[in-house]
Structure 1
Amino acid sequence: MAARAGVSRQTVSNVLNAPGRVAPETAERVRSAIAALGYRPNRAARNLRERASRCIGFKIAHPAGLNTLLDRFLHALADAAGSAGYHVLLFTSPESDATAGATAASATATMATASISDAELACYEDLVGTGTVDAFVVADVVVNDPRPAWCARMGVPCVCFGRPWGQEHKLYSWVDVDGGDGLAQSVDHLVARGHRRIAYLGWPEGSRVGDDRRAGWDRAMRRHGLDPSGLAGGCEEDTAAVLAVARELLALPDPPTAFACGSDTFAVAARLAGGLDPRGVPKVDVVGYDDSPALALMAPPMPSVRQPVDEVARRVVDLLLERIRTPGLPPEGVMLRPELITRGEAGR
């Protein structure tokens, strides 16, 4: 192959493993020779030589509500890792009641302080000790999550999707989406549609993700000169519970005319609670969060805040690979901005 391309073996190796070191014209000549010869690198031999699995561990968490964010993130993560020559290894592990039901950070909120079991940490240790994975992505981050700290102590590269709540963020690497900004966009949209009584529906106080989104709603309301007092409702992410809270808010003497919600599950329940007028138009405007596919099927379709999942996955993989290739690299946090998606809401 080197002879066919007219380069050294080291240049061929650089094209395969470190293309940034090779001039574009030379790299293209080598790739043409690779294609002509039908060459495929022997990944098993390469892994043995490097003593690396080229696998990234990712624990599958339980889904919650209508949210499909974790599925979309997993697909994007596998795609980004594959482009870098890595695979994603999926695994499950024992979970406590406190963590069951948690999904990707910024997708749902965890109510309690983390209670990751010793058995779960042992699972992480086994995957590293047996050489099964080189690093981890943690997307079901819980409050005071011990896994980033364990990885730091063990020298195992780890990047979180979501800030490691309850801990010094600067100690760990993470990529997150600004949920407070997402709720502010929801409020801005509803104000532009003429609403002044805009309620928030989300998780109870004490959930870090939920608190962050609620704070964004509160700041936006005050920025518009609106009083948020008495307009925040919190409960578990359960349709029946959300319906009850939404109906309580709608029964106020001066009820809300719109809802900015912490998740799409809360949003669907809020619309059900508000009901339809004789023309079939929703009586209250509702904005969700996470842009679940189900919202596009509603009549009329419901707006929602979309997280840039593909970009999150790319940034997570970039941070992870930098730390695999350069052990001891300092932690880094990346904050991304979500986007409000509107869908031809009924006029008022």
Structure 2
Amino acid sequence: MTTSEAPRESAATAPALPSVSVVVPSYNYARYLPSNVGSLLDQEGVDVRVLVLDDASTDETPDVGAELARDPRVTYERHTTNKGHIATYNEGLLEWADGDFCVLLSADDLLTPGALARATAVMAADPDVTFVYGNPVRFLSGGPLPDARTGARSRTWTGDRWIRGVFRAGRNLILSPEVVARTGAHHDAGGYNPRLPHSGDLEMWLRLARRGSVGWLPDADQAYYRIHDSNMHHSAFDARARLEQLRDGYESFLDNDGKDLPYRNAIHTAMRRKLARGVLRKVIRTLDAGEDTADGLTVRELYDLAAELTDLRKLPEYPGVRTRMAIGPRHCRRLNPVTSLITARRGRDWIRWHGNRVRPV
């Protein structure tokens, strides 16, 4: 070896790559599995292991899964009876995942190049971070994949600050495929709640945030979220069912992991106000369009649904809703500019009288 040559690092002394366990629950998604698993096996800078967990599919999933499992990094397992998505999630994450980090990725979604290395780097640099998320990119099934941003800049919030922000938002800020979590924190948090089939993920992010900090990659698109007719969010859910699931996800967290939070009552009130304001805005949009029903409910039923959450008279949308409901959808559509002006003035009056009493959480 000449003096200018540096000794090569042997495989024995090279630092171990972060290990990531990826659980891919699948039910009749055989057509999506090759691209899904391919996006995982192509990840660089990490040691990936993949479990395709087939929930008793009736399509070609067994054949596709067996073919994919020819790669030693892929395991294919099949339920003999359908257990449902929550039980499948918990089986994969709690019983199988043993890497440093873990991912739950629906069989119809994909990860973007470099997603795992970007997320695990944030958690390697800060042991207090329990999960990292970036931005999901929606794309139409059958169409080309959009270009993904790959920025490595990260931001970290304390768990308390993130929890407050999610309650103030009144909605789930995460789709799901864009999350990489610390496996130990996931195991400590326990499984997804079977009573929350459509908001268990929201509760899970809050539970993980209770156990540490939260990392965000603002300049990175971490996952591709496929839009197609059989997406779970296309399930026949009316406005009441969706709202109740969202509310129950928040309140389940507060009744369990968040029951000792000193600001528990404040964020609970803020969340219910935010949900009620969203319903009232739907009432306004529906009436202005000349309609009297939306998402399977009449405007009166929507109004009553909002009233179950908080005192509507204390909300800025209240004057506009009452004006529109008084004149009816047919006149609302015809008098839309006039109605908007009247309710805007009433809204300003409301702010003058009540605004000084409103305080952020």
- Per the normalisation by structure 1, the TM-score is 0.27
- Per the normalisation by structure 2, the TM-score is 0.26
